[in-house]
């Protein structure tokens, strides 16, 4: 039985795809593991509004009631946000078990890409991708997002890799897996809360139409996914030295408490929120809504080409 048989697509998203209208996939771990309620619901609605503002249709993806859901909205979105503490975090390795158990789960970048590709969605907006964790030379903690980007034909618009990661090693793994990293209006790969990481992107483009052309070409060639790096707006970026001090403190606390594997990223993001007195949440909302807007514009540009 193919994956599509396990997917429920909302009427709005189904109609948009059938008419070849622009659709943007949205992940749900930002709802279940990225923010507390009600900020998670407010952010999810704001992200959808920014996609709609471009003329594209948002498609939030999650696992609910033993089904892969595409286009979670309304009361179902509220339910997901309210029950966030009960939800698991589903990456590729967790999907089958979560479906069998009939559980509630937020989908990671990797899983969202997989489901989006199955229904024909080519563009996906997230906050930041997972990657190589600091100290991975000992822990081998590398996100499944990177491997998924190498094989799944979806363009991921992000504000770089999460600042808690080893960005240099993350880019090395992307390069080894043949994943092109495009900078939208930037020569430098952004670092989630900040605009700069000190590492270059592979190619810079200043027009969404040109990025759309690359995505179409990449998909025509069947060469896997693309990472579109879109820096957090200047006004919302955090101070690089300040956030690094906070991240180092959070990582040391995680090590002391033995937090690792799939629990590590949610723990660190929550602790960074606490240590930054909420500044990180403000930045997170700003960057994800900005990514949603750019993703919508790219999706429209792809439709215009076709």
Mind listing the pLDDT tens digit for each residue in 124-171? 999 999 999 888 888 888 999 999 999 999 999 999 998 889 999 999
Percent of the chain with pLDDT over 90: 85
Mean pLDDT of the region 287-294: 98
Q: In the annotation, is 27 catalytic? A: yes
- Give the per-residue pLDDT at 201: 98
d(CA 180, CA 192): 18
Distances (CA, A) of 174 to 139, 149, 177: 19, 8, 5
Active-site residue, selected from the candidate residues 27, 122, 148, 297: 27
Write out the two tokens for 204. Answer: 């810079």
Given 48, 122, 148, 162, the catalytic residue: 162
Out of 80-84, 256-260, 268-272, the most confident range is 80-84
Q: What is the DSSP string of 134-175?
A: TTHHHH--B-HHHHHHHHS--EEEESBB-TTB-HHHHHHHHH
Residue 43: pLDDT band with limits 50, 70, 90:
very high
Superfamily of segment(s) 3-305: Indigoidine synthase domain (3.40.1790.10)
- Euclidean distance between CA atoms 175 and 36, whole angstroms: 34
Query: What pLDDT shows up at residue 259?
Result: 84
Give the per-residue pLDDT at 71: 98
pLDDT at 304: 96
For residues 100 and 252, give the distance between their C-alpha atoms in angstroms, rounded to a whole number: 36
The string of pLDDT tens digits covering residues 196-235 is 999 999 999 999 999 999 999 999 999 999 999 999 999 9
162 an active-site residue?
yes
Structure confidence at residue 36 (pLDDT):
87
Q: Indicate whether 32 pLDDT > 80.
A: yes
pLDDT of residue 243: 92
């Amino acid at each position: 039985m193919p994956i599509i048989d396990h997917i429920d697509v909302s009427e709005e998203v189904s109609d948009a795809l059938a008419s070849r209208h622009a659709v943007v996939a949205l992940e749900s771990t930002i709802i279940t593991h990225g923010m507390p309620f009600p900020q998670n619901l407010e952010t999810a609605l704001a992200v959808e509004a920014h996609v709609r503002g471009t003329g594209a249709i948002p498609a939030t993806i999650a696992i609910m009631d033993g089904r892969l859901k595409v286009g979670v909205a309304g009361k179902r979105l509220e339910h997901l946000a309210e029950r966030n503490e009960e939800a698991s975090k589903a990456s590729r390795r967790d999907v089958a078990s979560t479906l069998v158990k009939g559980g509630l789960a937020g989908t990671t970048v990797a899983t969202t890409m997989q489901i989006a590709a199955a229904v024909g969605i080519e563009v996906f907006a997230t906050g930041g991708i997972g990657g190589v964790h600091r100290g991975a030379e000992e822990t081998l903690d590398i996100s499944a997002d990177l491997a998924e980007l190498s094989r799944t034909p979806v363009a991921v618009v992000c504000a770089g890799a999460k600042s808690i990661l080893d960005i240099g090693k993350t880019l090395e793994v992307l390069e080894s897996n043949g994943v092109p990293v495009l900078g939208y209006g930037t020569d430098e790969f952004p670092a989630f809360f900040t605009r700069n990481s000190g590492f270059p992107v592979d190619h810079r483009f200043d027009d969404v139409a040109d990025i759309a052309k690359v995505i179409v070409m990449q998909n025509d060639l069947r060469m896997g996914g693309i990472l579109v790096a879109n820096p957090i707006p200047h006004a919302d970026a955090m101070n690089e030295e300040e956030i690094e001090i906070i991240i180092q403190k959070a990582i040391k606390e995680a090590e002391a408490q033995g937090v690792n594997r799939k629990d590590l990223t949610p723990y660190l993001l929550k602790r960074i929120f606490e240590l930054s007195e909420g500044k990180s949440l403000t930045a997170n909302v700003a960057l994800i809504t900005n990514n949603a807007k750019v993703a919508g514009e790219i999706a429209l540009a792809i439709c215009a080409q076709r």
